[in-house]
């Protein structure tokens, strides 16, 4: 009976993590404004912030004292994963292929997390992490070297800069939420609320929205996908996968860049080059090595909604 229960738990964990990976990869593809939607990047960022903020408002109010104890600086660092992240990655996807985004955004996020953790939390690299870092960095280096010889290198480089910034913003959220041991949905509520405060005035006043010209079906689909599926369901799916599988869930999440590149072929017609495939293999391998070193125990869900190893900080400078 115990063996059957364990097998069912593992199957459920793989199912939840597969759903999370599919959503994350789909987000990279479906956020390519002008390719998969008539909506602007600002519209997509608005949906991704405002809808989760409204749905999680009761949770945010119930834990308002916890939020107050976090302070303005920590909340602002976490909010970088909201509007700044979405806008940077969204604009980057209009200039560079999804395969490049897959290698750079989820690939470089752990690198930035390590750097931030070393500066502010006194974290140190072990041997496994050092190998993973070298492999992960080799992927973007290969892409950048190849892009410098491309005919549209200026456009690609601009897209790559946006990807670098998006990855850094993601890392700010990851390190802060992990250090404060926040539940995933509360962290999501904070990000959505602060992003809404910033985006709502711009969205209403600036002439950067395409809501008036986009088809209603497009608006409805992106509102559901960006706000509910990407903003909430992916968080729940990853949390469930992590609870049921522990470290294996983090390793499985490393497949996101490869899945995104595969989805981009039929949806966007973007066939990755040999260099892109090589870079993705390096990045995915590095992410799996890094994630497989986690010590998580199934049944104990970490606070971060991303696949980064929890570290007990010695001294935090984020206070």
pLDDT surpassing 50 at residue 298: no
With a CB cutoff of 8 Å and minimum separation 6, the contacts of 25 are 102, 256, 257, 259, 260, 262, 263
Where does the pLDDT of residue 230 fall: very low under 50, low under 70, confident under 90, or very high at 90 and above?
very high
- Partnered with residue 37 across adjacent β-strands are 33
- Partnered with residue 33 across adjacent β-strands are 37
Distance CA 196, CA 202 (A): 10
| Cβ–Cβ < 8 Å for 122, 312 | no
Where does the pLDDT of residue 150 fall: very low under 50, low under 70, confident under 90, or very high at 90 and above?
low
Where does the pLDDT of residue 243 fall: very low under 50, low under 70, confident under 90, or very high at 90 and above?
confident
pLDDT surpassing 50 at residue 311: no
Q: Is the pTM of this model over 0.95?
A: no
Q: Residue 289: its pLDDT value, please? A: 85
pLDDT tens, residue by residue, 199-214: 988 887 777 889 989 9
| Cβ–Cβ < 8 Å for 40, 91 | no
Mean pLDDT over all residues of the chain? 83
Where does the pLDDT of residue 250 fall: very low under 50, low under 70, confident under 90, or very high at 90 and above?
low
Distance CA 288, CA 253 (A): 8
Distance CA 196, CA 189 (A): 10
Where does the pLDDT of residue 225 fall: very low under 50, low under 70, confident under 90, or very high at 90 and above?
very high
Where does the pLDDT of residue 44 fall: very low under 50, low under 70, confident under 90, or very high at 90 and above?
very high
């Amino acid at each position: 009976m115990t063996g059957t229960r364990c097998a069912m738990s593992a199957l459920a964990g793989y199912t939840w993590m597969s759903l999370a990976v599919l959503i994350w990869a789909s987000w990279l593809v479906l956020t390519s404004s002008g390719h998969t939607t008539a909506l602007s990047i600002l519209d997509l960022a608005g949906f991704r912030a405002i809808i989760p903020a409204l749905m999680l408002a009761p949770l945010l109010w119930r834990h308002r004292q916890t939020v107050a104890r976090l302070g303005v600086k920590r909340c602002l660092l976490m909010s970088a994963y909201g509007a700044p992240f979405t806008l940077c990655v969204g604009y980057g996807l209009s200039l560079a292929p999804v395969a490049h985004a897959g290698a750079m955004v989820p690939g470089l996020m752990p690198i930035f997390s390590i750097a931030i953790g070393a500066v502010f939390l006194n974290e140190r690299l072990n041997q496994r992490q050092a190998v993973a870092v070298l492999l992960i960095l080799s992927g973007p280096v290969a892409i950048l070297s190849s892009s410098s010889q491309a005919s549209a290198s200026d456009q690609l480089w601009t897209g790559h800069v946006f990807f670098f910034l998006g990855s850094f913003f993601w890392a700010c959220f990851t390190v802060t939420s992990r250090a404060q041991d926040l539940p995933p949905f509360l962290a999501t509520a904070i990000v959505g609320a602060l992003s809404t405060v910033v985006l709502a005035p711009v969205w209403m006043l600036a002439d950067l929205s395409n809501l008036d010209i986009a088809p209603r079906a497009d608006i409805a689909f992106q509102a559901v996908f960006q706000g509910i599926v990407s903003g909430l369901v992916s968080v729940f799916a990853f949390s469930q996968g992590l609870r049921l599988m522990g470290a294996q869930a983090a390793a499985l999440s490393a497949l996101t860049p490869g899945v995104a590149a595969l989805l981009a072929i039929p949806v966007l017609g973007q066939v990755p080059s040999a260099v892109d495939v090589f870079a993705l293999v390096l990045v995915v391998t590095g992410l799996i090595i890094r994630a497989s070193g986690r010590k998580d125990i199934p049944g104990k869900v970490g606070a971060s909604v991303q696949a980064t190893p929890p570290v007990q900080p010695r001294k935090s400078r984020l206070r």
